[in-house]
Structure 1
Amino acid sequence: METVIGVIGGSGVYEIDGLEDAAWTDITGPWGAPSDQVLIGRLDGVKMVFLPRHGRGHVQSPGSINYRANIDALKRAGVTDVISVSACGSFREGMAPGDFVMVDQFIDRTVARESSFFGPGCVAHVSVAHPTCPRLSAACAEAARAEGVTVHDGGTYLAMEGPQFSTLAESKLYREVWGCDVIGMTNMPEAKLAREAELCYASVAMITDYDSWHPDHGEVDVAQIIRTLTGNADNARGLVRRLPGLLGSERQPCPYGCDRALEYAILTQPPARDPAMVAKLDAIAGRVLGAA
């Protein structure tokens, strides 16, 4: 099986340099329009698909992103491994602006987003106990360190609805009571949907600020965030350029089972499944629905 790397670029990352035979391509699906076209090309012989999460020009807010359409588009493009790159705030003194965190856990505080491909007519429950892929996260960490980035292996990401930043009270709650490490607005329900789509998913959280808890930094300074984003984006592109050499062109089955997440997840019996819902799930769950 061929490795196809999908990169979801967050704030500040709107393109990937160096792709061979690259072309922006429309991908249509049953879940509506994705954030933008996808850029498809090859890097060191490995196919790569890039999607700017907020659209080129940053036209989508965290709450208006069509996360289902984005993941469906990547799946239709043949993606096997998704690298999610996103800006975040830090709750830890030792996780400083400019550092990267390889997130391995989430607390989902989003409330107004469609968080599943499944529903009435085809019910499924996947496990997200371990929502990121350790194999893919390790490759991203190695690539980032090779770029000279300070990397933190593991961390809990608080996903907030936004688009406003946290109040001071919220920031202290997330940090001191809940034990979160970073905060952002876009990795949920993205990570849950990637698991439903049987895609390996790694979250590279690029720290831009200390949120509002830090007594020496005060409230979030958007101007400072933008300055930090520039450096983070350069490092993120360097990370991506190293991934083909680390992942290789031949895709082996995921040792953690990400690519088999739906094996026993669908509960609706075949005679009771809604044909219209099954048709919408052709890319996401065709591997298991087609075999039923």
Structure 2
Amino acid sequence: ALHVVSFQCTQNSKALGIQERWNQAMSHSDGELIKLLLLDEIGLAEHSKHSPLKVLHHLLENPKISFVGLSNWPLDAAKMNRVIVHQIPNNLDDDLKAIGESICNTNHTDLHQRDVDILVDVFKELNTQISRQNWSNKDIWLGRRDFNALIRHYMYNQVLSKSLQGVMRNLGGCKEPRFQESLTKALKKGLRKSTTEISALMNHWGPLKCVEMNLQDKNCRHCMLVCENPYSWQLLLDYKLLACEDVVFLFESKFAADTAIMTNYDHLHKVINCMQVGKKI
């Protein structure tokens, strides 16, 4: 039997957390169990300022348990040469086609195959444009989850040829100029409209408009806002997108007492409670 101990890596992961999970996996005394430590999103931990993956250097010298690390990109050679690297090819085109076909075969949407084909073409073209840029920023990349969220929007709303709402809500959030240019080119090619027409349609769905529609969408579980200024959240109140008495706000604090791990657990507990009662947080 296989016993898996998981560890969710983040950009704030520390070596102590990985060591504790390793020890936890080692502590299982059943000799018939195959003990395995799974580090999910290990690539994120590589970018942590705490350098948590250095602890793997000695843990993987003569390991007593099995180890698996999942990453969306290659790690540095010093870490990869201690394990067997299994790289899965990116069959994005085939996967997009399969997702589109499965959506069309359901009875829960009025989407036609031609509408799905346009979405697939736009997504593929945008992904191609991004790949050509050779950006070093790993935050700017598209995956199957992005396409799934995109196509699920158009299952219940106006198709892409009539509204860019789904594209702008799911793909338009990155304001990096080159990304916006790539998105414009992809939409121009997919919808066969001029750059001026595409720009006008995109500008109609500005950030605040997209946030407002997300908050009104009952099928939308969460909406993540990545802001440059610490006071940007107040715009949601100023523009009456949220009512202060109906929302719970959680703030990050740099005070020593608030940087403890228990603060994160406390915030997580509040998030769970709010989700259970349907309160915005």
TM-score normalised by L of structure 2:
0.26
> Which structure would you say has the larger RCO, counting Cα contacts within 8 Å and 6 or more residues apart?
1
Name the one with the larger helix percent: 2
Name the one with the larger strand percent: 1
